[in-house]
């Protein structure tokens, strides 16, 4: 089973639960890849049901309650925008030091800390609808920051795309979610820009030559 939003971009999925963070960002509308999956209540409900079920499978947990209230839509869009802003920061500029108790809290998450028969501790998001998703998103970001995978989740450099993708390259230098699509678009644009510059330069030389011959 694939992640609904991320599959539209044919982007590499992030590992384990971090894929839920990627999935939320990829609900945004892109002309060539589909509409906004948070556009209305019915579409958002369908997306959240599938995304939460997929996440639960990745984490080996029971699916949460994905029921959305009418007021949850705006909260989900704001959550998406917050995560997009975080991913827009270049990986080497993202803070990596452990956070102390902040003086001002910008986002909150509710989780249970649970243990299994092998005394392993896990965080389990609680709540329903947008509240549950917010708790799951912040929990997964925290885990990714601790394991070092957070720097691998990026936004595609192509302005018309900006989908979230997981950079699995050896040195973490990937900038496009798909080299064949967005990479080719960027290279073609750069090639056209170079040709225009060369054409403009050639025109300047010719014009100067004409002026010189006239004199």
Which structural domains are found in the chain, ordered by start? 4-94+108-177 (1.10.3300)
Longest dimension (CA), the chain: 94
Q: How far apart are CA 186 and CA 199, in angstroms?
A: 20
Mean pLDDT of the chain: 85
Burial 166-205 (b: 16+ CB within 10 A, else e): bbeeeeeebbbbbeebbbebbeeeeeeeeeeeeeeeeeee
Higher-scoring residue by pLDDT: 127, 196: 127
**Cβ atoms of 25 and 9 closer than 8 Å:** no
- The pLDDT confidence band at residue 159, using thresholds 50, 70 and 90, is confident
Higher-scoring residue by pLDDT: 38, 70: 38
Nearest by Cα to 46 from 54, 37, 55: 37
**pLDDT digit string, tens, across residues 51-64:** 999 999 999 999 99
Specify the 3-state DSSP secondary structure of 112. Answer: strand
């Amino acid at each position: 089973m694939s992640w609904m939003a991320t599959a539209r971009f044919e982007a590499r999925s992030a590992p384990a639960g971090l894929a839920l963070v990627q999935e939320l960002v990829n609900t945004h509308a892109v002309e060539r890849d589909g509409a906004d999956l948070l556009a209305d209540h019915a579409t958002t409900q369908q997306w959240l049901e599938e995304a939460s079920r997929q996440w639960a499978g990745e984490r080996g947990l029971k699916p949460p309650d994905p029921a959305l209230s009418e007021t949850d839509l705006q909260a989900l869009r704001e959550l998406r925008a917050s995560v997009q802003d975080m991913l827009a920061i270049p990986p080497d500029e993202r803070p990596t030091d452990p956070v102390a108790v902040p003086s001002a809290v910008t986002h909150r998450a509710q989780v249970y800390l649970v243990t299994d028969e092998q005394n392993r501790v896990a965080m389990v998001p609680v709540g329903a609808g947008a509240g549950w998703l917010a708790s799951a998103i912040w929990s997964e970001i925290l885990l990714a920051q601790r394991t070092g995978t957070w720097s691998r989740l990026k936004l595609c450099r192509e302005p018309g795309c900006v989908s979230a993708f997981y950079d699995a390259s050896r040195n973490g230098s990937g900038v496009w979610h798909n080299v064949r699509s967005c990479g080719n678009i960027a290279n073609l644009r750069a090639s056209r820009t170079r040709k225009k510059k060369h054409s403009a330069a050639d025109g300047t030389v010719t014009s100067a030559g004409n002026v010189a011959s006239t004199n």
